[in-house]
Amino acid sequence: MDILYFIVQQTMFFAIPLLIVALGGMFSERSGVINIALEGIMVMGGFTSIFFIHIMQGTISGQLLLILAILVAGLTGGLFSLFHAFASINLKADQTISGTALNMFAPAFAIFTTRMIQTVQQIQFTDTFFISKVPVLGDIPVIGPLLFRNCYITTYIGIGIAIVAEIVINHTRFGLRLRACGEHPQAADSVGVNVYKIRYAGVIISGVLAGIGGLVFVVPTSTNFNATVAGYGFLALAVLIFGQWRTKRIIFAAFFFGIMKTFASAYSGIPFLKGLPISNEVYKMIPYIATLIVLTISSKSSQAPRAEGIPYDKGSR
Amino acid sequence: MKKKHNLLHSEGTSSFFSAIMAIAVGLLFGLVILLISNYKYAFPALITIIKGGFTDGTTGMGQVLYMATPMILTGLSVGFAFKTGLFNIGASGQFTSGAFVAVYIGIKWTFLPPSIHWIVALLGAILAGALWGMVPGILKALANVNEVIASIMMNYIGIYLVNMLIVKTIYDPLKNQTLPIAKSAVIPRGGLDKMFGVNNMNIGIFIAIVVVVIIYIILNKTTFGYELKACGLSPDASKYAGINDKRNIILSMVIAGALAGLGGGLLYLSGSGKYMQVLDILAPEGFNGISVALLGMSNPIGILFAGLFIAHIKVGGYNIQLFNYSTEIIDIIIAVIIYCGAFALMFKNLIYKLTRRNKMEKEEER
């Protein structure tokens, strides 16, 4: 039983940031804008929020600081994503251009700024956010140790985001309009929806969530920020496509990948896997190979938004 | 008169002008950042960046050519796939697998005659890269798997597989890197090392230029290249015209992979001091390739110059460490330049309007 608890707890650390960022990507892509800048936005969000924690940790600590940092991360991500929105919506440029530019800009900017301020490029922070046991809830048998022990508040925020995202995209007027802009913007425009505004909203939401995802990735896995999120932005993109741009499938995809990652990184803590004569590197490859296999079987009917990646031009037919 | 008119309106000219504009904006942005971080040395630092490879005479220029070589090839890889409407984000994995096979042959296959050893190693790199690119190609063509996600997965599988194989076969545990390659596997220097005063300098840059020309010919002068571009511009129309799009997708990815693999081989067969490290980090050369391809507007000749340019200001970036600036400023500048590529459409319209106005004025004078 302890092993099961351990696996679930570990899975959360991998799956939650992927989930948050992939859901962010969903808002952008379902509005019709491909967002390969997720990686860069994550780095930017991680950078400002960890820097915020670094400065503020003398005065406040614990969950309040983390929540404030999440706000900082979200704000940064949202602002940074405006550059992507402007290039791909107003300038009607190829959406890989601004995405690549943002991905390149973010780590360079983070390292440059940090070096100018403190000579070392890593930003240190003290982890005062770890919750070894949530009061009351942590004592519930089975569910307590499964979900409410050895965790971070970010886990619940991530799950909350998933629920809200599902409601917003499938059960609100805004969600319907957003989806319309991604499928057939001309039709949406003809009934009075402002396609540009909706697409801006989609990209900004993706920026906010990716920014938060950057922080959520760094906090449980490290005690310093080194201007990288280890390719998680690209993995989130993969999870988004794997999840066929649909909330529920994205949740499934994120956890599928998270569990695979957990086996890969923590297999030595799982007795029956430890005994097998398989090298460390093979375990590391498994999540990626498994994803490829699942995709091969399941991709026949892609449900990508139809107008994805195509700039909306009012004049075109 | 008519000729001049064509020149001003040609695709190439306006692309060139918008590239120059983008570079100017990027450098200006860099200057602002330099001014904010330390205004005292900002101007000398900017001049050092612009002078780039020319600062240290021939050594600097050699350094530029050496650095540009792998970037040109990964740039070609990404650009070639772009032409077919595919986004090859997997140049990194293809680069790494090519590098590994080249180094492996370079270390183990000493039974080969010395004169062809390095050639065989490079061919191995091409094959490995092609194989790595083929997987997303086949998955895309036959199972409709999005090539972006497949390439990302192949990047990670590549780096872990290569790390495992290095440790099992050609590992130097003391230094956590590969063993040195045999002398005969080092790409011939052709006297360039002495001419430029750069130890690693070799004929790799000429190989890159030849490949650029070959890719240019394939894309612009052959039916195959035409078919590839047709698939990129309009998959449905090309299918209707009887072009085998599945075959073209696979071939395009195979060629893209081969190019990136060759880039890996060229870099790691340069000898002295170049070893593959065993780290869980994706090769940055692959991602640089995206920048180079975008800056070169996916045109092989454009990519050649884009690669040289980026290498040029990167060398400038090393030099500004003298003024206590961090080299990352270069990546910031390059990012801004690429971002300005998004304005290309606007620049083009502007140039078009300006030239048209000139023409109309002239006609009125007449």
CATH number at residue A157: 1.10.3470
Residues of chain B found within 8 Å of residue A108, distances taken between Cβ atoms: 328-332, 335
Q: Is the pLDDT of residue B91 over 60?
A: yes
A72 Cα to chain B: minimum distance (Å):
22
Q: In the prediction, which pLDDT does B10 show?
A: 63
On chain A, the residues whose CB falls within 8 A of the CB of B38 are: 116
> What average pLDDT does the segment B65-78 reach?
95
Q: Provide the shortest C-alpha distance from residue A169 to chain B (in Å).
A: 23
- Given an 8 Å threshold on Cβ–Cβ distance, is B342 in contact with A103? no
Q: Residues B286, B90: contact at Cβ < 8 Å?
A: yes
CB contact under 8 A, A109 and B328: yes
Which among B87, B280, B326 has CB closest to A115? B326
Select from B152, B295, B320, B349 the residue whose CB has the most chain A CBs within 10 Å, as the one to mutate to test that interface: B152
Query: Which residues on B lie below 8 Å from A36 (Cβ)?
Result: 89, 148
Q: Is pLDDT at B8 greater than 60 in this prediction?
A: no
Q: Could you read off the pLDDT of B195-207 as tens digits, one per residue?
A: 887 777 889 999 9
Residue A308 included in any domain: no
pLDDT in tens, B248-258: 999 999 999 99
Mean pLDDT of chain A: 90
Q: Which of A272-276, B10-14, B231-235, B252-256 has maximum average pLDDT?
A: B252-256
Residues of A in contact with B335 (CB under 8 A): 101-102, 104-105, 108
pLDDT confidence bin for B365, thresholds 50/70/90: low
- Tell me, yes or no, whether A202 lies in a domain: yes
Which has the higher per-residue pLDDT, A252 or A149? Answer: A252
Q: Do A96 and B161 touch (CB under 8 A)?
A: no
pLDDT band at A221 (very low <50, low <70, confident <90, very high): confident
Distance CA B340, CA B294 (A): 11
pLDDT at residue A250 above 90? Answer: yes
- Is A39 part of a structural domain of the chain? yes
Give the count of domains, chain A. Answer: 1
* pLDDT at residue A183 in the model: 93
Q: What is the pLDDT of residue B80?
A: 96
Residue B331 has its nearest CB partner, among A108, A288, A302, at A108
Contact B332 A112 (CB under 8 A): yes
**CB-based contact B335 A242, cutoff 8 Å:** no
User: What per-residue confidence (pLDDT) applies to A35?
Assistant: 92
Return the pLDDT at B198: 79
**Dihedrals phi, psi of A140, to nearest 5 degrees:** -65, 130
Closest-approach residue (CA) in chain B for A104: B335
In a domain? residue A139: yes
Are residues A238 and B152, on separate chains, in Cβ contact within 8 Å? yes
pLDDT of residue B366: 62
- Residue predicted with more confidence, B240 or A77: A77
Q: How confident is the prediction for chain B on average, in pLDDT?
A: 89
Question: Three-class SS string for chain B?
Answer: CHHHHHHHHCHHHHHHHHHHHHHHHHHHHHHHHHHHHCHHHHHHHHHHHHHHHHCCHHHHHHHHHHHHHHHHHHHHHHHHHHHCCCCCCCHHHHHHHHHHHHHHHHHHCCCCCHHHHHHHHHHHHHHHHHHHHHHHHHHHHHHCCCHHHHHHHHHHHHHHHHHHHHHHHCEECCCCEECCCCHHHCCCCCCHHHHHCCCCCCCHHHHHHHHHHHHHHHHHHCHHHHHHHHHHHCHHHHHHCCCCHHHHHHHHHHHHHHHHHHHHHHHHCCCCCCCCECCCCCCHHHHHHHHHHHHCCCCHHHHHHHHHHHHHHHHHHHHHHHHCCCCHHHHHHHHHHHHHHHHHHHHHHHHHHHHHHHHHHHHHHC
- Residues B303 and B126: their CA atoms lie apart, in Å, by 19
| Chain B residues inside the 8 Å CB shell of A91 | 342-343, 345-346
Check A97 against B342: CB less than 8 A apart.
yes
Report the pLDDT value the prediction gives residue A281, as an integer from 0 to 100. Answer: 83
Mean pLDDT for the stretch of residues A132-157: 86
Cβ A288–B157 below 8 Å, yes or no? yes
Interface touch A296/B145, C-beta < 8 Å: yes
User: What whole-number percentage of chain A has pLDDT above 90?
Assistant: 56
Placement of tokens 């993706």 in the chain:
A206
Q: What is the complex's ipTM, to 2 decimals?
A: 0.91
How far from each other are the two terminal CA atoms of chain A, in whole angstroms? 60
CB contact under 8 A, A295 and B149: yes
Residue A227 belongs to a domain: yes
Look at A220-229, A256-265, B200-209, B340-349 and tell me which has the smallest mean pLDDT: B340-349
pLDDT score of B340 more than 50: yes
User: Would you say residue B1 has pLDDT above 60?
Assistant: no
* A285–B157 CB contact, under 8 Å: yes
- Residue A98 has its nearest CB partner, among B329, B331, B342, at B342
Residues of A in contact with B287 (CB under 8 A): 103-104
Inter-chain CB proximity B150 and A91 less than 8 Å: no
Q: Do A108 and B139 touch (CB under 8 A)?
A: no
**Mean pLDDT along residues A10-31:** 94
Least Cα separation, residue A304 to chain B (angstroms): 10
Cβ burial of B3 (10 Å; 0-12, 13-18, 19+) is exposed
Residue of B nearest to A101 (CA): B335
Q: Stretch A150-154: mean pLDDT, rounded? A: 89
Determine phi and psi for B171, rounding to 5 degrees. -100, 140
Above 80 in pLDDT, residue B349? Answer: no
Q: Is the pLDDT of residue A7 over 90?
A: no
Q: Which of B135, B332, B340 to mutate to test the interface with A (most CBs of A within 10 A)?
A: B332
A29 assigned to some structural domain: yes
Q: What is the CA radius of gyration of chain B?
A: 22
Enumerate the residues of chain A whose CB falls inside 8 A of the CB of residue B346.
91
Taking an 8 Å cut-off on Cβ atoms, the answer to whether A87 and B287 are in contact is no
B32-63 residue pLDDT tens: 999 998 888 999 999 999 998 888 788 888 88
Q: For the ranges A74-78, B75-79, B180-184, B197-201, which has the lowest average pLDDT?
A: B197-201
pLDDT band at A30 (very low <50, low <70, confident <90, very high): very high
Note whether residue A307 is domain-resident. Answer: no
Contact A281 B161 (CB under 8 A): yes
pLDDT at residue A116, as a whole number: 86
A108: closest chain B residue by CA: B328
pLDDT at B9 over 70: no
Closest CB to A292 among B150, B335, B343? B150
pLDDT tens for B138-153 read 999 999 888 888 998 9
**Selected residue of A284, A297, A306, A313 to mutate for chain B interface (largest B Cβ count, 10 A):** A284
Question: Hey, what CATH topology would domain B57-324 get?
Answer: ABC transporter involved in vitamin B12 uptake, BtuC (1.10.3470)
Q: Tell whether the model's pLDDT for residue B269 goes beyond 90.
A: yes
Quick check: B339 and A101 CB within 8 A? yes
Predicted confidence (pLDDT) per residue in A277-294, tens digit: 777 888 888 889 988 998
Angle at which helix A232-242 crosses helix A247-266, to 10 degrees, equals: 130
Tell me, yes or no, whether A89 lies in a domain.
yes
pLDDT of residue A317: 56
Domain residue ranges of chain B, discontinuous segments joined by +: 1-38+326-366, 57-324
Domain that holds residue A225: 2-298
Residue B3 pLDDT exceeds 60: no
Select the residue of B139, B294, B326 nearest A112 (Cβ to Cβ): B326
